[in-house]
């Protein structure tokens, strides 16, 4: 009868081959772009009878071009509260935006829900951070309807 003994020199190479495995993958995964809910403060001027830009506006529409995960535009509609005093309204988008840099346009409207004439507008480029911040302050310009 033959007696076999297996030493470390016999077992170790077999274990190393077993543990080595494939080590790679031929199918690469597509990296995902992080997304977040955009958040910002929108400061409304005190309401007055004078048409002086945002103080006469009752709504705003913010557009971040190409910010949606599918490449579409993120549109954020905001209605001003009924309070005629100046205030800052905190806004959080209901749709998520990609994190990154995007062109932004904002139009202020004379009526709620984006109705009526545009009374002021602004454009800039913003960088949306992982926490949704990044819009910052935007300077508006008034539109003159007639002279």
Which CATH number goes with the domain that contains 127?
Answer: 2.60.40
Residue 53 has pLDDT above 80, yes or no: no
**Residues β-bridged to residue 59:** 79, 109
* C-alpha radius of gyration, the chain, whole number: 29
Interstrand relation of 141-142 and 118-128 (parallel, antiparallel or unpaired): antiparallel
Q: What is the pLDDT of residue 131?
A: 93
Q: What is the pLDDT of residue 23?
A: 53
> Cα(40)–Cα(136) distance, rounded to whole angstroms?
7
User: Does residue 99 fall inside a structural domain?
Assistant: yes
> Cα(135)–Cα(102) distance, rounded to whole angstroms?
10
User: Does residue 26 fall inside a structural domain?
Assistant: no
Cα 137 to chain centroid, rounded: 16
Q: What confidence tens digit (pLDDT) does each residue in 96-111 have? A: 999 999 999 999 999 9
User: Does residue 7 fall inside a structural domain?
Assistant: no
Query: What is the domain count for the chain?
Result: 1
User: Does residue 91 fall inside a structural domain?
Assistant: yes
Domain range for 90: 35-142
């Amino acid at each position: 009868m033959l007696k076999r003994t297996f030493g470390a020199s016999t077992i170790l190479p077999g274990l190393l081959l077993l543990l080595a495995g494939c080590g790679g993958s031929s199918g690469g995964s597509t990296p995902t772009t992080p997304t977040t809910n955009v958040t910002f403060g929108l400061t409304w001027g005190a309401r007055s009878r004078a048409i002086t830009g945002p103080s006469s506006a009752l709504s705003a529409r913010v557009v971040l071009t190409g910010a949606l995960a599918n490449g579409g535009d993120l549109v954020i509609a905001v209605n001003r509260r009924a309070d005629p005093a100046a205030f800052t309204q905190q806004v959080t988008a209901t749709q998520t935006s990609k994190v990154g840099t995007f062109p932004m346009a904002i139009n202020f409207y004379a009526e709620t829900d984006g109705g009526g004439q545009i009374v002021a507008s602004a454009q800039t480029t913003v960088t949306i951070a992982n926490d949704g911040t990044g819009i910052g302050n935007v300077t508006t310009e008034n539109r003159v309807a007639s002279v």
